[in-house]
């Protein structure tokens, strides 16, 4: 049983790694990032290829996810009706801000993107890289989520989030500055990422709460720094917090809907 669990855990680790980067990777890099022997990584990848979750490029030999994970994820979201219930509130915020609106849900100690609405109708449009996992320490959504936790817990999770073998995006930020930013986010109710997650991009996010103790997700507005200038931050933040409050009220409808279907 112990061997089976190890095999399952390693297979999921490979899937999560390829999903987070959303790009093809060579065998050696996968093995290094997951701290596996190349032979073990190759066995995992061969198994996942046989099952249809991963495919290998016939020219480069690199590995990437198939669309099977995305299809399963969309089926799950459709079954929960979460995006359907929340979509009108997201569209309203996108229309009001004229920028990209995104929503993420808390899963364990991470955030996962599940929905977005593009509100920009002209000029520059912020179109982020298609990844599943939210980077916590530098993104507005990540900071909004971490700000709802105790400082020591937030720091532990942020450090763990950056310990996947990649260079930390917040490597030049001191612990004191990081904790001060979280305190500021906690006090005002919204978090800011001012070109720290991506050059030229500003984002403002707020936590979605069911209660003072339970955070279920985050919602954000993001766009080019040339448009989301400092004089707009307060107004955008007010709209984001209002939407977060609406989403918190809508969230239980998903559970009610699912209970009614016997899910």
Residues 226-260 as b/e (b if ≥16 CB within 10 A, e otherwise) read eebeeebeeebbebbbebbbbbbebbeebeebeee
- Residue 159: per-residue pLDDT: 86
- Residue 165: per-residue pLDDT: 38
State pTM to two decimals: 0.68
Q: Is the pLDDT of residue 16 over 80?
A: yes
**19-30 mean pLDDT:** 83
- Residue 169: per-residue pLDDT: 44
Alpha-helical segments (H) within the chain: 2-21, 27-33, 38-51, 68-80, 82-97, 140-146, 151-161, 175-188, 230-261
**143-155 mean pLDDT:** 95
Quote the tokens at residue 194: 């001012």
3, 100, 137, 178 from 174: Cα distances, Å: 41, 30, 12, 6
Q: Of 19 and 91, which is predicted with more confidence?
A: 91
pLDDT digits (tens, 9 = 90+) for 156-212: 998 888 654 334 344 456 788 889 999 999 999 999 999 988 899 999 999 999 887
pLDDT digits (tens, 9 = 90+) for 96-125: 999 999 999 998 898 988 888 998 877 777
Percent of the chain with pLDDT over 90: 48
pLDDT digits (tens, 9 = 90+) for 56-78: 988 899 998 887 876 676 666 66
pLDDT digits (tens, 9 = 90+) for 215-238: 999 999 999 999 999 999 999 999
- Residue 164: per-residue pLDDT: 44
**34-45 mean pLDDT:** 90
User: How many CA atoms lie less than 13 Å away from 32 in the CB half-sphere?
Assistant: 7
């Amino acid at each position: 049983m112990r061997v089976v669990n190890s095999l399952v855990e390693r297979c999921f680790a490979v899937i999560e790694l390829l999903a987070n980067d959303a790009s093809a990777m060579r065998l050696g890099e996968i093995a290094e990032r997951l701290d596996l022997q190349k032979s073990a990584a190759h066995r995992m990848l061969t198994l996942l290829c046989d099952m249809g979750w991963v495919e290998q490029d016939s020219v480069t030999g690199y590995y990437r996810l198939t669309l099977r994970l995305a299809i399963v994820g969309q089926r799950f979201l459709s079954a929960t009706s979460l995006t359907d219930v929340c979509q009108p509130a997201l569209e309203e915020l996108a229309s009001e801000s004229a920028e990209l609106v995104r929503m993420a849900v808390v899963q364990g100690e991470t955030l996962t993107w599940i929905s977005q609405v593009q509100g920009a109708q002209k000029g520059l449009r912020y179109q982020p890289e298609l990844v599943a996992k939210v980077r916590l320490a530098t993104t507005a959504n990540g900071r909004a989520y971490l700000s709802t936790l105790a400082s020591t817990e937030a720091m532990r999770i942020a450090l763990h989030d950056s310990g996947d073998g990649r260079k930390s995006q917040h490597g030049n930020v001191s612990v004191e500055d990081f904790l001060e930013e979280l305190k500021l986010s906690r006090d005002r109710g919204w978090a800011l990422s001012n070109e720290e997650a991506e050059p030229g991009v500003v984002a403002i996010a707020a936590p979605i709460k069911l209660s003072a103790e339970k955070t279920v997700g985050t919602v954000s507005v993001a766009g080019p720094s040339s448009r989301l200038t400092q004089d707009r931050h307060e107004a955008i933040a007010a709209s984001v917090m209002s939407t977060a409050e609406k989403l918190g009220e809508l969230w239980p409808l998903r559970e009610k809907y699912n209970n009614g279907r016997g899910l």
